Amino acid sequence: MRNFILSICLLFLLISLKTTQAGNYEFSIKGNKTYLNNQEILVVGLRCSNALFTNQTTDDLINNLDVYKSYGINTVSVFVMGSRFGNIKGYNEDSSLNMTYMNRLAKIIKAADEKGMIILVGCLYWGGSNAKWESWTQKEANRAVANTISWLKENDFRNVFVDVDNEGMAMRGAGFDSAELVRAAKAVDPSICVATNFKGLPPTEADLGVHFSFVDETKPYIQSEGTPSNAPGGYWGKYSREENYENYINIGLYNDSMKVNQIEETKKHFQNGWGYMLASTWLQCVPPYGPNADLGGEGASDNPGVRWWMEEIKKLRGSYIAPKL
């Protein structure tokens, strides 16, 4: 009898610990709207894809989360694999998780949860990065995504949603089926929201579409990589890249026309009820020039950065106030 009572006490202790360790916030979708703790929320964010590069870059991002909130930002994206020039190998060749990077990601997700913020977790980044495994088939890719969802589930990280394949790069480069990647995720935990990101309607299995995805009126859409559409030579093309140079150029630089375009695009998305996340060479470049978690300045050669966009967001949206617990 004594052993039985001890077992019951231990069970209640474990349940209590689980409750204590659980996240405060949960991202969810109803129809074509996004929610945080059942409060409708429009995703407004920054793409910080190389934040896992070092412990310092991770800490820099975390230390700026309150600043982001003050400007109206509620979401940040971070990639497990990639991204360009970062070459972060968040997955081992056998599709298992590289815990050096996952421990950094855990710090970011926890810090965001404490502040009522959302993290977009990017999985595969196949193009323009040495982080991919050329040996992978669909099987390994599915397993990598499933392992990511398992890790999120085991840690009770709920203030998240997932992009399985950045810009459909793995679909184009390796022939992987995005719908299969989503099914692999949903088989582990159907409650975690999963997006696709290729030029086409999101498959039935997906909860939402991001960036390259066509807009499906029955699902939420988030522009997760917003850039000026009028940058000379293309923002991610000649404007930001130079042959045989392993970093970005024109880091954090914007002419007046690009700024106007960026702001107009942002407003258009908000007016349509779509989320919007800014992507910038300022945020994504790698050492010795970044990645920069601070906002920098006005986008000029003597004052580069993205503060100019953030100031516009604050005018449009005000500071971000997280849903009440």
Residue range 25-317, CATH number: 3.20.20.80
Q: For residue 9, what pLDDT band results from cuts at 50, 70 and 90?
A: very low
pLDDT for 83: 87
Q: For residue 2, what pLDDT band results from cuts at 50, 70 and 90?
A: low
99-139 pLDDT, tens digit per residue, is 999 999 999 999 999 999 999 999 999 988 889 999 999 99
Q: Is the pLDDT of residue 6 over 60?
A: no
Choose the weakest-confidence range: 6-15, 43-52, 175-184, 192-201: 6-15
What mean pLDDT is predicted for residues 189-210?
98
pLDDT > 90 fraction of the chain, expressed in percent and rounded: 91
Closest CA to 44 of 67, 65, 73: 73
pLDDT for 18: 39
Mean pLDDT rounded to a whole number for the chain: 94
Is residue 304 helix, strand or coil? Answer: strand
Q: What is the DSSP letter of 254?
A: -
| Beta-carbon contacts of residue 69 (< 8 Å; ≥ 6 apart) | 115, 117, 319, 320, 322
Closest CA to 294 of 11, 51, 80: 51
Token duo for residue 89: 């190998």
Rounded Cα–Cα distance for residues 181 and 158 (Å): 19
264-323 pLDDT, tens digit per residue, is 999 999 999 999 999 999 999 999 999 999 999 999 999 999 999 999 999 999 999 999
pLDDT > 70 fraction of the chain, expressed in percent and rounded: 93
What mean pLDDT is predicted for residues 148-168?
98
